[in-house]
Amino acid sequence: MVVASENSENPPDRVDREVQVYSYYRDAELHASSLIYRLLRVLKDDEAQLLLSEHLSDETAHAWQWTERIKELGRVPTPITDGYQVQIAKRAGVPRKPLDLLALTVVVEQRALERYREHLKREGVPERTLEVLRSVSKDEDWHIDWVNKKAREIATAEGSPELYDQAIDRYRAIDREVWAEFKDVERSWLEAL
Ligand SMILES: [Fe+2]
Ligand SMILES: [Fe+2]
């Protein structure tokens, strides 16, 4: 009987590619945390403070789950300087208005969820990675829902509900531009796993 050694299951180049993909996911989660932290400082009402605190806790937990996954592979996260969110910030700048921050949050959260769902559909994904993908994806729905709801409330209270839709359209256009450059690269990494 041939027992597969850990090395044959996890050849070094496969581990390199896994670490690269998980490091990009981790980077996106850390940037999401930073957006939520910004929102904590501008949305002062009680409900927003409670929801944002839980949201921030989730995003940092997601970053930690990817970090743990990388640790399990005996590695450390690769520093990421050109990730999806950095590209978004280069084009969109860092918004100051709450409505823009909320719209940007929804757009980047939807992108994160789509990345994870695409990864979940692939074959041969290690069980532990599936576990992390499922765990981080399950929080994204409530994140997107409450942020959307809050943004609509603010836009309506300001008398211009269309402002939120316009902000979403603006950030979605930027996201599409960035993703057009990013998706083939990310797909090629996933295919090589
Ligand atoms: Fe997340
Ligand atoms: Fe999220």
pLDDT tens digits for range 137-147: 999 999 999 99
What CATH code is assigned to 12-191? Answer: 1.20.1260.10
Assess whether pLDDT exceeds 90 at residue 12. Answer: no
Cα(13) to centroid(ligand 2), Å? 30
Cα(193) to centroid(ligand 1), Å? 22
Nearest ligand, CA of residue 136?
1
Cα(55) to centroid(ligand 2), Å? 7
Nearest ligand, CA of residue 25?
1
Q: What is the pLDDT at residue 3?
A: 36
Assess whether pLDDT exceeds 50 at residue 7. Answer: no
Residue 110 vs residue 185, higher pLDDT? 110
Nearest to 128 by CA among 46, 186, 72, 45: 72
**pTM: predicted TM-score of the whole model, two decimal places:** 0.90
